[in-house]
Amino acid sequence: MACVDGALILLFSHMSVVAFVLAFAIGIVLGLVGGGGSILTNPVLVYAVGATPQAAIVMGYPIVGGAALVGAIQHWRSRTIAMSALPVGLAAMLGAWLGTLLVFRLGIGGQARFALLSVTMIGAGLAMLYDARRSAPPSPRAEPAWPALLAIGVSVGGLTGIVGVGGGFLMVPALIVLGGLELRRAIGTSLLVIAMSTAVSFIAQRGSSDVDWGIVLPFGATAALGLMVGSLLVSRVPAATLKKSFAGLLVVVGSAILYEYLTL
């Protein structure tokens, strides 16, 4: 028993209290909106844990994917995952592989990928702010628009492979508007798609950086716990307020990262 306690202390000593709090917050956002929280994982790994940008991107895949899988299992048990997850997920996996191939072919380094991540964060934040300002939520289609859905799946997967984001901030509205899903089913389906695309990205990029499992495991477990809490709160938290607050945070953090990159 003492050996087990010692191993747990050693495992969790890799992360600060601040990192644990941020990991939990990332999980809550991921559970509430089906995406978005994962886009902050890489900055937290760099600035709160001390990982290099390249290592943060690679380690972010099992963290985000593992937490998303836990959430997807919750939604599967609640029957709030649509069968449309499979073809869209396969499209995202293809996109993740193509994105990884592009990174390796062009020799895009960790710093450059982080700069691209910052631009993605700013764009995602502005898009979420625009969406939150609309007076009425988007109306789901009567029938899924498969060509557009699959194209978005490939695009989101490409973002996953290149900059390490799960892409739920794009996938959830696409599943509502183009897939005809209500919010909770769109969130559950998005989480499964994220788990699929991050798995491919991690397998393809595992050899490009050392993976510190002493960081990945506790961070991922904390994010998964936050995601479970967020999933329970999804019907009780005003979506518009959450979106505006989180979108503003994305713009601020993304701008700070981009400024740092441009002034190196």
Q: Are 204 and 96 in contact (CB under 8 A)?
A: yes
Which of 16-30, 104-118, 125-139, 144-158 shows the lowest mean pLDDT across its residues? Answer: 125-139
Q: Which domain holds residue 127?
A: 2-262
Mean pLDDT of 201-213: 93
Task: Enter the tokens of residue 58.
Answer: 């690679």
Q: Which residue has the higher pLDDT, 139 or 219?
A: 219
pLDDT at 15 over 70: no
Q: What is the pLDDT of residue 5?
A: 38
* Cα distance between residue 66 and residue 233, in whole Å: 20
* Sign of the alpha-carbon dihedral angle for 47, 51, 52, 53: negative
Q: What is the pLDDT of residue 205?
A: 96
pLDDT at 142 over 80: no
pLDDT at 4 over 80: no
pLDDT at 3 over 70: no
Percentage of residues of the chain with pLDDT beyond 70 = 87
Q: What is the pLDDT of residue 36?
A: 62
Task: Give the mean pLDDT of the chain.
Answer: 85
Mean pLDDT of 187-205: 93
Angle between helices 17-33 and 168-177 (to 10 degrees): 10
106 pLDDT band, cuts 50/70/90, is very high
Which of 29-33, 110-114, 117-121, 178-182 shows the lowest mean pLDDT across its residues? Answer: 29-33
Instruction: Looking at the chain, list the stretches that DSSP marks H as alpha helix, in order from N- to C-terminal side.
Output: 2-12, 17-33, 41-44, 53-77, 85-106, 110-132, 146-163, 168-177, 183-205, 213-233, 239-262
pLDDT at 136 over 90: no
Q: What is the pLDDT of residue 1?
A: 44
Q: What is the pLDDT of residue 140?
A: 63
- Most confident of the ranges 54-63, 77-86, 166-175: 54-63
Q: What is the pLDDT of residue 116?
A: 93
Mean pLDDT of 7-18: 55
As for how many domains the chain has, the answer is 1
Mean pLDDT of 126-148: 73
Mean pLDDT of 30-55: 84
